[in-house]
């Protein structure tokens, strides 16, 4: 999968060189390229923002650098993958977007080319989204119902959630199936050695060797936790 990220703070993404995603990059499974939006500015101050039309607080990201970035990354002249001719998916993190869930991650993990545009200030000039829709499928995606200072942290979270679903990134694919949200429920509690720690014992059933009983207990725990912490997932 090819992933392009455009940001005015590219060093935020240095962390993606670590751990499983770092290994996936080294192995060529994930072709992640981070770009500085200011490289598509042409003035002395490398300006990316201006005051909002209609007044109001804060600054808005100017459309010109975004237009040039999109032209280069997904436009006709782009050096982008054209393996099957699939249109790229252009994602703008936004608190005003659709909510990012495990389902979104699974869906996006099947794409060949994702482009993320990190907003800052009050956000990006609206015309950029319209223009991007001419070049690919545009998604405005929110990490949650709160406001961050910029899109970088949201993109880090999305790239990690999507990246670990790409075949070959996580060593044991079974560990992906048994996780929270994969079957609409939260994951069951996990324990490791020692069997007793500070007077707290691991539940007997997990030491029983009875796989049927363990599976039943885990399912029960999943339901109990989901009902207590996230009844909305059960439609309650």
- Where along the sequence are the contacts to ligand SAM (CB under 6 A)? 93-96, 118-120, 122-123, 142-144, 146-151, 154
- Give whichever of 57 and 76 is closer to ligand SAM, judged by the CB atom: 57
Q: Shortest approach of ligand SAM to residue 187 CB, angstroms?
A: 24
Give whichever of 148 and 233 is closer to ligand SAM, judged by the CB atom.
Answer: 148
For ligand SAM, the closer of residues 67 and 150 by Cβ is 150
3-state secondary structure of 140: strand
Complex with ligand SAM: residue 24 or 132, whichever CB lies closer: 132
Measured from the CB of residue 173, what is the shortest distance to ligand SAM in angstroms?
Answer: 28
Cα gap 229→33, rounded to integer Å:
37
Among all residues, whose Cβ is closest to ligand SAM?
119
- Closer CB to ligand SAM, 125 or 169, in the complex: 125
**Residue 120: CB minimum distance to ligand SAM, A:** 6
Pairing label, strands 89-99, 113-117: parallel
Shortest spacing between CB 73 and ligand SAM, in angstroms: 17
Q: How buried is residue 84: exposed, middle or buried, by Cβ count under 10 Å (0-12/13-18/19+)? A: exposed
Q: What three-state secondary structure class fits 142?
A: strand
- Identity of the residue, 93 or 163, whose beta carbon is nearer to ligand SAM in the bound complex: 93
Strand segments (E) across the chain:
2-7, 31-36, 49-50, 60-61, 89-99, 113-117, 137-142, 196-197, 200-201
Question: Which residues have CB under 8 Å from 89's CB, separation 6+?
Answer: 108, 111, 113, 114, 115, 136, 137, 139
CB count within 10 Å of CB 30 equals: 22
Please state the separation of Cα 102 from the chain's center in Å.
10
Q: How far is the CB of 118 from ligand SAM (least distance, A)?
A: 6
Output the smallest distance, CB 191 to ligand SAM, in A.
34
Rounded-to-integer distance, Cα 213 and Cα 219, Å = 10
């Amino acid at each position: 999968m090819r992933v392009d990220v455009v940001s005015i703070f590219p060093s935020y993404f240095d962390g993606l060189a670590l751990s499983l995603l770092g290994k996936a990059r080294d192995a060529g499974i994930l072709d992640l390229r981070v770009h500085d939006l200011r490289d598509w500015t042409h003035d002395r101050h490398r300006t990316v923002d201006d005051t909002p039309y209609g007044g109001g607080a804060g600054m808005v990201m100017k459309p010109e650098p975004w237009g040039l970035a999109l032209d280069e990354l997904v436009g006709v002249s782009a050096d982008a993958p054209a393996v099957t001719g699939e249109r790229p998916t252009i994602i703008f993190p936004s608190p005003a977007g659709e909510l990012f869930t495990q389902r979104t991650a699974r869906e996006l993990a099947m794409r060949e080319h994702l482009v993320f545009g990190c907003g800052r200030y009050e956000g990006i000039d609206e015309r950029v989204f319209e223009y991007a829709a001419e070049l690919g499928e545009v998604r405005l995606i929110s990490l949650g119902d709160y406001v961050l200072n910029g899109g970088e942290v949201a993109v880090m979270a999305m790239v990690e959630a999507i990246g670990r679903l790409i075949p070959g990134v996580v060593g044991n694919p079974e560990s992906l199936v048994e996780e929270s949200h994969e079957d609409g429920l939260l994951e069951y509690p996990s324990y490791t050695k020692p069997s007793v720690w500070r007077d707290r014992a691991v539940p007997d059933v997990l030491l029983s060797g009875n796989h049927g009983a363990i599976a039943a207990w885990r399912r029960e725990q999943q339901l109990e936790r989901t009902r207590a912490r996230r009844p909305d997932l059960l439609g309650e």
